[in-house]
């Protein structure tokens, strides 16, 4: 399936520390798919000034954010990318999408995938501004996400706007998971579970490929390390494991960081859903 002049525009979303970088890298190894670094663009596009959003006006942060992202995508170009001085959210969104479309075409790709986990909370906004936008959701065991999110924010607080408490990490996973559950089964959305991706990557990737309308390619299982190097920025050392290979790490950080009572508390709070019993295959739609 292709959208908007032959280009398919896909956003990979989910709670941070759910394995989205690994999934994006595997998808980016497909010969028809271009994987792109995180942009956080639609997070910055909304204005914080009351009333501006209703008028369709963009945040003042959006234009420099877009210009910086375009420079990141094409550091080899000597000229600074030109971003029109506009205040319309639609016009800036068009500039963002057109730049990604053009980059994908130059690379001979028919699909691009941008992965910013927080875009999960901007899906209606993105759907309205981006013609043909589609979404791939990734879910991971709540206790594992909480442990990983707690660890990374406490090890790299400067990059995460401060360390998170255990309860903040739990609340983040619960909130993000509930958003994904709202979209499961809707057209244009596909969901899969991280542990199943690790256990049977070919099967899970074949499902995503079917959703995207392309055939599974074995390169997705062998070329994702190179792709990871392209989508991970230098200030994101915590993503290095995405290039290290498919490894089951369930419960590892939970064991390393927390004592038995804390592990029990975390598991109790995230136990409102058992991902191992969730049948996404019958719920996801093309």
- The reply to whether 285 falls in a domain is no
Residues 6+ away with beta carbon under 8 Å from 124: none
Q: Mean pLDDT over residues 196-222, rounded?
A: 95
47 near 57, Cβ under 8 Å?
A: yes
C-alpha triplet 231, 237, 243: angle, nearest 5°: 55
How many domains does the chain divide into?
1
d(C-alpha 94, C-alpha 225), whole Å:
31
Confidence of residue 272 (pLDDT cuts 50, 70, 90): confident
Span 68-112, pLDDT tens digits:
999 888 876 645 555 656 578 999 999 999 999 999 999 999 999
- The reply to whether 200 falls in a domain is yes
Residue 153 has pLDDT above 90, yes or no: yes
- The reply to whether 219 falls in a domain is yes
Q: Which residues pair with 8 in a beta bridge?
A: 111
For residue 255, the tally of other CB atoms under 10 A from its CB is 11
pLDDT at 4 (0 to 100): 59
d(C-alpha 249, C-alpha 254), whole Å:
10
State the average pLDDT for the chain.
Answer: 86
- The reply to whether 29 falls in a domain is yes
Q: Higher model confidence: residue 276 or residue 116? A: 116
Confidence of residue 245 (pLDDT cuts 50, 70, 90): low
Residue 183 has pLDDT above 80, yes or no: yes
- The reply to whether 88 falls in a domain is yes
Query: What pTM value is reported for the model?
Result: 0.88
- The reply to whether 165 falls in a domain is no
Q: Which residues pair with 34 in a beta bridge?
A: 112
pLDDT at 17 (0 to 100): 92
pLDDT at 121 (0 to 100): 96
CATH number of the domain residue 37 falls in: 3.40.50.300
- What is the domain range of residue 28? 8-140+186-245
Residue 131 has pLDDT above 60, yes or no: yes
- The reply to whether 234 falls in a domain is yes
- The reply to whether 49 falls in a domain is yes
């Amino acid at each position: 399936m292709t959208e908007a002049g032959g280009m398919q525009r896909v956003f990979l979303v989910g709670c941070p520390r759910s394995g989205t970088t690994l999934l994006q890298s595997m998808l980016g190894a497909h010969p028809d798919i271009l994987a792109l670094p995180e942009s956080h663009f639609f997070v910055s596009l909304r204005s914080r000034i009351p009333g501006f959003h209703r008028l369709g006006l963009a945040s003042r942060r959006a234009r420099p954010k877009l210009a910086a992202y375009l420079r990141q995508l094409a550091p080899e170009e000597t000229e600074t990318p030109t971003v029109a001085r506009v205040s319309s959210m639609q016009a800036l969104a068009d500039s963002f999408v057109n730049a990604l479309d053009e980059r994908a075409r130059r690379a001979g790709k028919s699909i691009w995938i941008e992965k910013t986990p927080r875009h999960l909370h901007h899906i209606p906004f993105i759907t309205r501004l981006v013609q043909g936008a589609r979404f791939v959701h990734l879910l991971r065991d709540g206790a594992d996400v909480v442990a990983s999110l707690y660890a990374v924010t406490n090890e790299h607080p400067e990059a995460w706007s401060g360390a998170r408490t255990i309860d903040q990490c739990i609340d983040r996973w619960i909130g993000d998971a509930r958003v994904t559950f709202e979209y499961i089964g809707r057209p244009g959305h596909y969901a899969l579970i991280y542990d199943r991706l690790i256990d049977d990557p070919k099967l899970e990737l074949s499902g995503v490929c079917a959703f995207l309308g392309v055939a599974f390619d074995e390169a997705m299982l062998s070329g994702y390390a190179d792709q990871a190097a392209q989508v991970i920025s230098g200030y994101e050392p915590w993503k290095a494991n995405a290039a290290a290979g498919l490894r089951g790490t369930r419960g590892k950080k939970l064991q390393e960081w927390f004592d038995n009572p804390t592990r029990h508390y975390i598991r109790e709070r995230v136990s409102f859903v058992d991902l191992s019993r969730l049948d996404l295959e019958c719920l996801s739609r093309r």
